[in-house]
Amino acid sequence: MRYLKIFLVLALLITVAITVFNTYKNTPLAEPKLEANKLNNTTDLWQAPEENLINQEANASEILYGKELIQNTALYLGPKGSVKSISNGMNCQNCHLEAGTKAWGNNYAAVYSTYPKFRERSGSLETIPKRVNDCFERSLNGQALDTQSKEMIAIVSYIKWLGSGIIKGDKPVGSGIIELAFLDREASTEKGQVVYESKCQSCHQANGEGLLSSDKKSYAFPPLWGKNSYNDGAGLYRLSRFAGYVKANMPLGASHNAPILTDEEAWDVAAFVNTQARPSKNLSKDWPNIAGKPIDHPFGPFADGFSEKQHKLGPFKPIKAKRAEMKKNKTT
């Protein structure tokens, strides 16, 4: 009887094993879940809507005009613009690559989903038109557009269309500019000059003046310093922004998943470019709360006690540590 029980138990176990095997042998293995790596994995990165979908929109003509203005800003609003002469000859897409659609190319993915929003720089709640005009006054070193103008309405319509599929408040992976880890040292303008001369100069020219297109109205390769470049109030004047931008996009042929520059080269060339002469902007009304200034904002006064030079070139880790300590002390 004892052997019979053992036999029955073994038979039951074999039956269960066969059942389990038959259940799973034809079941496909689950695909491994891939985590989006900021530079090397495109799995979950934001992608712009297909352009042919624009024609389905009631305001398709506005959206298309907005895209045209982003791509060819200078033809309409540059020094020889057909609509107005209110900017320096650069195009919006010189900074917002591929008409603001390139992942990690300073794109417009999260603009519609995150605006209006409070910004420390102005100390106020900002709208999309306000943000667009910031670019005109800083990156294009020009004048603000009338917020009710045909051109502003078109640009805002295009930006809204690009972000129309994003949940309000969300910021998809791949939007904006990549954030690089801080160096353990000050960014080197000398090393940056070597990088610029070997990897950037052929497009942006020896003295950073850029290269005009054949129409002589816009730039094939934008100026990086000098009178026709962005001014010292532009976002790319901050080292972290410039370094992250070039790391994922420059020199020509680079991308977020196939970068050409090392992190150190990106920081150093940012230091070289942003220590060259360029237009200045009255920044007296920026950052009314000085404690809200970014670590790499290069103009004082500062609440953390570090110098303008260190805020411009680093090292930034000590500033970050000091601010964390100040925040901790404030909350205890």
Is the predicted pLDDT of residue 37 greater than 50, yes or no?
Answer: no
Instruction: Please report the DSSP string for 98-150 in residue order.
Output: HHHTSTTSS-STTHHHH-SEEETTTTEEE-HHHHHHHHHHTTT-S-PPPTTSH
Residue 288 CB partners (closer than 8 Å, separation 6+): 122, 123
For residues 38 and 238, which has the higher predicted lDDT (pLDDT)? 238
| Averaged pLDDT, 119-130 | 98
For residues 44 and 63, which has the higher predicted lDDT (pLDDT)? 63
pLDDT band at 43 (very low <50, low <70, confident <90, very high): low
pLDDT band at 5 (very low <50, low <70, confident <90, very high): very low
Least-confidence region, from 29-38, 145-154, 308-317? 29-38
| Averaged pLDDT, 109-130 | 98
| Averaged pLDDT, 128-144 | 98
| Averaged pLDDT, 138-151 | 98
Correct CATH for 189-326 of 1.10.760.10, 3.40.50.1000, 3.90.730.10, 3.40.470.10? 1.10.760.10
User: So what's the pLDDT on residue 44?
Assistant: 85
Task: Please report, for the chain, the start and end positions of each structural domain, with discontinuous segments joined by +.
Answer: 51-162, 189-326
Is the predicted pLDDT of residue 83 greater than 80, yes or no?
Answer: yes
Tokens of 19: 């059942």
Judge: domain 51-162, CATH 1.10.760.10: yes
Asked if the domains 51-162 and 189-326 are classified in one and the same CATH topology, the answer is yes
Is the predicted pLDDT of residue 6 greater than 50, yes or no?
Answer: no
